[in-house]
Amino acid sequence: MSGGKSAQSNRLSSGGLIERDITLSFTFDGRRYRGHQGDTLASALLANSVRLVGRSFKYHRPRGVFGAGPEEPNALMEIGVGARRDPNTRATVAELYDGLTARSQNRFPSLAFDLMAVNDRFAAFLGAGFYYKTFMWPAAFWEKLYEPLIRRAAGLGRLAGKPDPDSYEKAWAHCDLLVIGAGPAGLQAALVAARAGARVILADEDFRPGGRLNAERAEIARIPGHEWAERVAGDLAGMKNVRLLTRTTVFAAYDGGDYAALEKVSDHLASPPAHLPRQRLWRIQAKRTILAAGAIERPIAFGNNDRPGVMLASAVRSYVNRHAVAPGKSAIVFTNNDDGWRTARDLIAAGVDVEAIIDPRASEEVGIVREMTGDTPVFTRARVTDVKGVRSVESVEFLNANGRTVRLDADIVAVSGGWNPLVHLTCHRRNNPVWNERIAAFVPGAEMPSGMIAVGAANGAFSTHGALAQGTEAAMRVLNDLSLGQSQIAIPDSEDAPYSISPFWHVAESKARAFVDLQNDVSVKDIAISEREGFRSVEHMKRYTTLGMATDQGKTSNVPALAIMAELTGKSIAETGTTVFRPPYTPVALSAFAGRARGKEYRPLRLTPSHDWAVEQGASFVEAGLWLRPEWFALKGEKTWRQSVDREALAVRKSVGFCDVSTLGKIDIKGRDAGLFLDRVYTNMMSTLPVGRVRYGLMLREDGFVMDDGTAARLGENHFVITTTTANAGKVMEHLDYCSQVHWPELDVHMVSVTDRWAQFAVAGPSSREVLRKIVDEEFDISNEAFPFMACAALTVCGGVEARLFRISFSGEFAYEIAVPASYGDALARAIAQAGKQFSIVPYGLEALNILRLEKGHLTGNELNGQTTAGDLGMARMISPRKDCIGKVMSQRPALQAEDRMVLAGFKAVNAAEELTAGAHFIGLGEEASTGNDQGWMTSVGWSPTFGHSIGIGFIRRGPSRHGERVRAVDLVRGKDIEVEICSPHFIDPQGERLRA
Amino acid sequence: MRLPCPYCGERDISEFVYRGDATVKRPDADDPDAARAFHEFVHLRTNPAGWHFEHWYHESGCRAWIVVERNTLTHAVRGAVAASAFRRKVGEVGA
Note every long-range contact of A946-949, with CB atoms under 8 Å and residues 24 or more positions apart, other chains counting: A946/A649, A946/A650, A946/A653, A946/A855, A946/A987, A946/A988, A947/A855, A947/A908, A947/A987, A948/A912, A949/A908, A949/A909, A949/A912, A949/A913
Do residue A734 and residue B87 have CB atoms under 8 angstroms apart? Answer: no
pLDDT at position A996: 86
The fold of the B2-88 domain, in CATH, is Folate-binding fold (3.30.2270)
Q: How many angstroms away from the CA of B75 is the closest CA of chain A? A: 7
Q: What is the Cα–Cα distance from A606 to A843, expressed in whole angstroms?
A: 20
Nearest to A762 by CA among A795, A802, A723: A723
Q: Which of B12, B65, B76 sits opposite A742 (nearest CB)?
A: B65
Q: What is the Cα–Cα distance from A461 to A497, expressed in whole angstroms?
A: 11
Give chain A positions within 8 Å (CB) of B41. Answer: 702
Give chain A positions within 8 Å (CB) of B22. Answer: 742
Give the Å distances, CA to CA, from A660 to A478, A628, A663, A753, A828: 58, 11, 8, 18, 10
Q: Which of A255, A702, A743 sits opposite B75 (nearest CB)?
A: A255
Give chain B positions within 8 Å (CB) of A734. Answer: 17, 57, 59
Do A245 and A201 contact (CB within 8 A), yes or no?
Answer: yes
Q: What is the Cα–Cα distance from A41 to A26, expressed in whole angstroms?
A: 9
User: pLDDT band at residue B87, thresholds of 50, 70 and 90?
Assistant: low
- Select the residue from A259, A741, A748, A897 to test the B interface by mutation, using most B Cβ atoms within 10 A: A741
Beta carbons within 8 Å of A228's beta carbon, 6+ residues apart: A184, A213, A219, A220, A221, A492
Does the N-terminal peptide bond of residue A584 adopt cis geometry, omega within 30 degrees of 0? yes
The residue type found at A722 is I
The residue type found at B64 is A
The residue type found at A740 is S
pLDDT at position A108: 72
Give chain A positions within 8 Å (CB) of B2. Answer: 256, 258, 285
Q: Is B4 an interface residue toward A (CB < 8 Å)?
A: no
Give chain B positions within 8 Å (CB) of A681. Answer: none
Do residue B39 and residue A890 have CB atoms under 8 angstroms apart? Answer: yes
Do residue B57 and residue A737 have CB atoms under 8 angstroms apart? Answer: yes
Give chain A positions within 8 Å (CB) of B63. Answer: 733, 737
Q: What is the Cα–Cα distance from A78 to A159, expressed in whole angstroms?
A: 9
CB pairs under 8 A between A and B: 61
pLDDT at position A695: 97
Do residue A742 and residue B57 have CB atoms under 8 angstroms apart? Answer: no
Do residue B1 and residue A745 have CB atoms under 8 angstroms apart? Answer: no
Alpha helix (H) ranges present in A493-610? 524-532, 538-545, 558-569, 573-576, 590-594
Q: What is the Cα–Cα distance from A281 to A269, expressed in whole angstroms?
A: 18
A435 three-state secondary structure: strand
Beta carbons within 8 Å of A139's beta carbon, 6+ residues apart: none
Q: Output the furthest CA–CA distance in chain A (Å, rounded).
A: 116
Do residue A255 and residue B41 have CB atoms under 8 angstroms apart? Answer: no
Q: How many angstroms away from the CA of B59 is the closest CA of chain A? A: 7
User: pLDDT band at residue B86, thresholds of 50, 70 and 90?
Assistant: confident
- DSSP class of residue A837 equals G
DSSP string, A166-197: S-EEEEEEEEEEEEE--SHHHHHHHHHHHHTT
Do residue A738 and residue B38 have CB atoms under 8 angstroms apart? Answer: no
Q: How many angstroms away from the CA of A817 is the closest CA of chain B? A: 29
The residue type found at A87 is P
Do A647 and A653 contact (CB within 8 A), yes or no?
Answer: no
Nearest to A61 by CA among A562, A544, A514: A514
DSSP string, A298-366: ---B-BTTTSTTEEEHHHHHHHHHTT-B-S-SEEEEEESBHHHHHHHHHHHHTT-EEEEEEESS-GGGS
pLDDT at position B89: 53
Q: Is B41 an interface residue toward A (CB < 8 Å)?
A: yes
- Select the residue from B25, B87, B88, B89 to test the A interface by mutation, using most A Cβ atoms within 10 A: B87
Give chain A positions within 8 Å (CB) of B82. Answer: 741
Does the N-terminal peptide bond of residue A138 adopt cis geometry, omega within 30 degrees of 0? yes
Q: Is B26 an interface residue toward A (CB < 8 Å)?
A: yes
Q: What is the Cα–Cα distance from A324 to A342, expressed in whole angstroms?
A: 16
- Pairing mode, if any, of strands A694-700 and A750-753? unpaired
pLDDT tens string B11-50:
999 999 999 999 999 999 999 999 999 999 999 999 999 9
DSSP string, A61-105: -EE----SSTT-SS-EEEESSGGG-EEEEETTT-B--TTEEEE--
Burial of A44 by CB count in 10 Å (0-12 exposed, 13-18 middle, 19+ buried)? buried
Residue A903 exposure: Cα atoms within 13 Å on the Cβ side: 20
pLDDT at position A127: 75
Q: Is B44 an interface residue toward A (CB < 8 Å)?
A: no
User: pLDDT band at residue B95, thresholds of 50, 70 and 90?
Assistant: very low
Q: How many angstroms away from the CA of B83 is the closest CA of chain A? A: 6
What domains can be seen in chain A, in order of their start residue?
2-125 (3.10.20.440), 168-295+421-481 (3.50.50.60), 297-418+500-576 (3.50.50.60), 665-754+868-893 (3.30.70.1400), 899-997 (2.40.30.110)
Nearest to A388 by CA among A489, A323, A502, A304: A304
Quote the Cα angle for A213-A215-A221, to 5°: 30
Nearest to A836 by CA among A776, A771, A775, A764: A771
Residue A834 CB neighbour total at 10 angstroms: 13
Q: Is B19 an interface residue toward A (CB < 8 Å)?
A: yes
Give chain A positions within 8 Å (CB) of B87. Answer: 742, 745
**pTM check: above 0.80:** yes
pLDDT at position A158: 83
Residues forming beta bridges with residue A607, ordered by sequence position: A628
Q: Which of A254, A256, A738 sits opposite B65 (nearest CB)?
A: A738
Do A745 and A791 contact (CB within 8 A), yes or no?
Answer: no
Quote the Cα angle for A385-A389-A395, to 5°: 55
What distance lies between CA A315 and its chain's CA centroid? 33
**Length of chain B in terms of residues written:** 95
Q: Is B90 an interface residue toward A (CB < 8 Å)?
A: no
Nearest to A177 by CA among A245, A264, A242, A255: A242
Beta carbons within 8 Å of A623's beta carbon, 6+ residues apart: A629
Give the Å distances, CA to CA, from B64 to A258, A291, A674, A723: 24, 37, 18, 21
Nearest residue of chain A to residue B18 (CA atoms): A734
pLDDT at position A146: 65
Nearest 10 degrees: Cα torsion A852, A855, A860, A863: 170
Give chain B positions within 8 Å (CB) of A679. Answer: none
The residue type found at A928 is E
Helix (H) or strand (E) holding A407, with range, is: strand A405-409
Q: Which residues of A645-669 are buried (b: 16+ CB within 10 A; e: fewer)?
A: bbbbbbbbbebbbbbbbbbbbbbbb
- DSSP class of residue A159 equals P
What distance lies between CA A883 and its chain's CA centroid? 48
Residues of chain A with pLDDT under 70: 1-6, 125, 130-155
Q: Is A737 an interface residue toward B (CB < 8 Å)?
A: yes
pLDDT at position A116: 73
Helix A524-532 crosses helix A558-569 at what angle (to 10 degrees)?
A: 40
Give chain A positions within 8 Å (CB) of B77. Answer: 256
ipTM of the complex: 0.95
Burial of A251 by CB count in 10 Å (0-12 exposed, 13-18 middle, 19+ buried)? buried
Q: How many angstroms away from the CA of B3 is the closest CA of chain A? A: 9
pLDDT at position A3: 41
Q: How many angstroms away from the CA of A743 is the closest CA of chain B? A: 7
Q: Which residues of A195-226 are buried (b: 16+ CB within 10 A; e: fewer)?
A: bbebbbbbbbbbebbbbbbbbbbbbbeeebbb
Q: What is the Cα–Cα distance from A450 to A438, expressed in whole angstroms?
A: 27
A894 three-state secondary structure: helix
Do residue A745 and residue B84 have CB atoms under 8 angstroms apart? Answer: yes
